[in-house]
Structure 1
Amino acid sequence: MRTKIIALLILIGCLPFNPLNSQNLIADPGFENWTGNLPWNPGSLSELPDWYEANGTSDYHNQSPLLQGSNLTGLEDCPTGQGNTWCGLPFEGEGVLGCWKGNGPDGSREWAGTELLEPMVAGGCYKISFWIQNKKDNPNQLLVTNQWGMFFNHTQIPFFNPNLANYATMSDHWVACEQIIDGSDWIKVEFDYQASEDFAYAYIGYMGDFSTSSYEIYNDDYLLGPYVWIDEVIVERIDPQLTLTEDLSICLGESVTLEAASNFPINWEDTNNGLTSRTVSPEQTTTYYVQTLDSTLCSVRDSIVVTVIGDQVIDFAGVEICTGADPVNLDPNINTGNWSGIGIIEETTGLFDPAIAGVGEHIITYTSDTDCAENFTMNVEVTPPPIIDFAADLTEGCPPHPVAFYDLSPQAGIMYNWDFGNGLASTEPDSASTIYTAQGSYDVTLEVIFSENCKTQQTIESMVEIFDPPQAEFTTYPANPSTLSPEVLFTDASTGIITEWFWDFGNGDTSDKSSDGTVYPDPGIFDVLLKVTSVNGCQDSIIHQVQVQSIVNFYVPNVFSPNDDGIHDLFEIYTVGPLENYKMTVFNRWGGIVFQSKDISSPWDGNLPNGDKAETGVYTYSIEYTYKGFTPSESFSGVKMGDIMVLR
């Protein structure tokens, strides 16, 4: 008997077996880092540097003797079966965490939180465990439940109300035990968890929806509820690696040595042993499965396929191929030997091209170059390809133009490949559609696959014609109309052979002429639409904004009579157009200021600053102003001057 040995000594040296090299991500797993300053026992978590109250008020118990500055009562062992929550001993060390779950679906729950020593790796596998002890162990007054576990999150405090949340929607954040935690003994719970995100914080306590839990509650008083102690919390990442011998082939009667290397314990599933090397001699092609760890989500499973080449004559069924098929390996499982015959284009692989062979029956011969294979012949029949045909509904139009195509082939295929000529494709059977967005003439191709070894295609040249669309454009005159010059002329400047026009000037007026005008009596910004239609019926439209400015005008009298007769007693200024700033100054003939106002609604009453009446005569005024445009760049400032006569 011959034996093939595949060695992996280098790989085995690179993957030492050390499953305990993982780091616990919990900074204080046993609740031992206590400052010693708690005022009573049990106390809050405020004196635990690495833990905090994430929800509710979790308890901290410690069995250390009294320390200076502390009046903690040391914990001691207590009788079981009496429901005591204040006595007992930690699983390990001197500290322990106490968590309560209130009675009922909306009962409160106490969570302790901690920041992980390093964030989790999204997709990484983690082993989670902690020890838990039921403290409501009175068999006559049971308050026990399952679903004690851990929740992983990005924030220090939960972003939701843990007492009322729907945990089914956050199933990738938490794990919890299915076992009801009852009795009086410490119980270790373990979980496998695959992190969905790079969580940085962990909470521990009662998890999940109350409706899915299993529990025993002797009384429905909402003040009652299960209470547990928790100790020695571990969250460790595991990253199992597995390297195997590659798949191989042997002759019938030969044996081969298979190798497996991993940084965790391995198991060959067919023999249930953990050897890293084994010798096998299968009588038929066999797949050997190897697994690291156990059957959890964090384990790795791989296989080695040992292909056995028998000594018997291989009986091949005839293979039917059509001339439109791609070249095909007549038997991809055979990788040594020589192939010959019409249509063989690769002698070592048996790649057969039906287009070269042509229609008809062909005898293909295979000669093995191993001592365990037999020569054989294969009858390959090449048939003409089935006829295919297709049509379309609307083969010409303006972009964007949708076109639907229909398969009219007499024989149905199993797969369709449409090439619409516009860079897009489809695999829809029977019918497909696309949208042509640019002018041009397009060839369309349909390929129909009838079987694994039979396909054909047809191309219809220039099947779709898309017209050149017009490009709408127009000009305006004047470029800057105003309320003093409100008439605007619009002229078509579109490209293409235009046959129809439609104008909407934005002021209620429309037109169907190539060029037309309208009047804007009021200032404002108007959207002007031009829609054009070309000789092929293609349309395009464009919108430009026309801004009609408001020009400021002043209406200033040249005389007024401040004699209190009710007629022209005030020197009042009127304007048309919006102003931002205004300042009017009146001077006497010597240049002295007799009146000044920054409010256009405060006119001059003919009195001097000292209250005396201005004498009859001619005075000079100066009006400084800033016109408020539609935009800051359109605003401007100016000065208007003139004379005003005072009559008494």
Structure 2
Amino acid sequence: MPGITAGQNLIPNGSFETYQNCPQQDNLLKEAVPWYNPNRATPDFYHQCFQTGQMFVPPHTGQGVGRLFFDQGWAEYFAVRLTRPLKENECYYFEMYIATDTPNKYLTGTIGAYFSTQPVTAPTSTEMFNAKPQVLDNLPSVSRLQWQRISGIMTARGGEEYVTIGSFYKSPPFLGFYYLLVDDISLRSVNLELGKDTTLCGHKSTRLLDATTPGGIDYRWNDSSINPTLLVTKPGKYSVTVVTACKTLSDSITIDYSLDFELGADTTLCNGQSLTLNVPRNAASTYRWQDGSPQNTYTVSQGGQYSIRVTQATCVVTDSIQVKYIRPPQLDLGPDEELCGAEQFTIKPTIAEGVFTWMDQFADVERTVGHSGIFRASVQNACATVTDSIMVSYGACDCVLYAPNSFTPNGDGLNDVFLAFGCGDITITSLAIFNRWGEVVFQTSASPFRWDGYYHGQLCENGVYSWSIKYQLKQRGKVTLDQKEGPLSLIR
């Protein structure tokens, strides 16, 4: 990008570090070249090359500071010629730091920077300049013996070549004089440049992109991060948008890797397996494996650490991988089972060399089943995962619903309730009990599907009743709705 870069300070010796002769008394601003005094007042320059009590706080940075004094009819200024004239309609960010030992006398809204095409001078006067600074103190208050920043954005008219630092608009009241230390004065063009597209060596190489922009308020990278800097750890195109008070800036950069490869993460293989390691082939590169092999591929058949060194011009990239071998996992759920009636079956898996898991998240290893289905499980270790399944079905005989033809609700704990049951593939959906005249004395559509012999709170009389049960039969993926009735003797 032609012109002034964002990092270039257009104010020479803005931190008062350079001097002609070490200042050993007051009124020696002239030693801080190229700063000069624009009027008849006597601004000061101090440097730690000579210790003086006039520097009431250490410099903000470095070793030098400037000092101004303000009183009735006495206004001191620093002035300097910029390193180059400002460009028309170009945005610039100004910044300086101030400190005082008498904050109660400091006049807020008065200290600033005035930029002009010609020097502002008054060789015979100590009065305040009649000028309108482009950047002015916006501090609500100042603290004692603490450096505080004055900053702002300005748009140049074009041709401004001088800056005057001091107090404008207000003079201290009678006996309101005060001193002000000034340090780190800077003026920078509000520009953004990430740099030219570049190529790094390999995947371990990084690049810190710095989008810090003078006066930057908001930063937004293409990955949504909002810091002024971004650490690049992989190839790609990176872009950033920066919002300032005067304009919004954008820039992008493409980062390539000349030797972009990885052998992969450390791995574990099953005994008998092999692994082929490879890196991209390039005629300009040379390869060297841990045993001196010069090819770009390597076949692993036993445990150990394997590494490669790839050289291309001045770029050298190395990578390594640890390979372990273990026995594969084993699993056997047994042969398929056919059950009869309400019979149940306990599956007892045979497991070795791994962690066992049922596919349906059943918690225990052994499980007892009483319904048809396919039950799947796996055993896993670092080298592999094996699976097995077992089918349980009620194919050995018909899956039927069983119900007693009598019960004795006398409270002796034996046969006290009427309860139907069937094989695991049957799901009862409703139960109804009728007396000999066909009247409903009990019915339910919710589990448990049983009758205790009571009707309206009273135990029913001995006699013959009948039951009706509706149910679902689910086998081999099909659901059949059915109903069954039968007699029931209630014996008290």
User: TM-score with structure 2 length normalisation?
Assistant: 0.38
Could you say which structure has the greater relative contact order, defined with CA pairs below 8 angstroms and 6 or more residues apart?
2
Q: TM-score, normalization: structure 1? A: 0.29
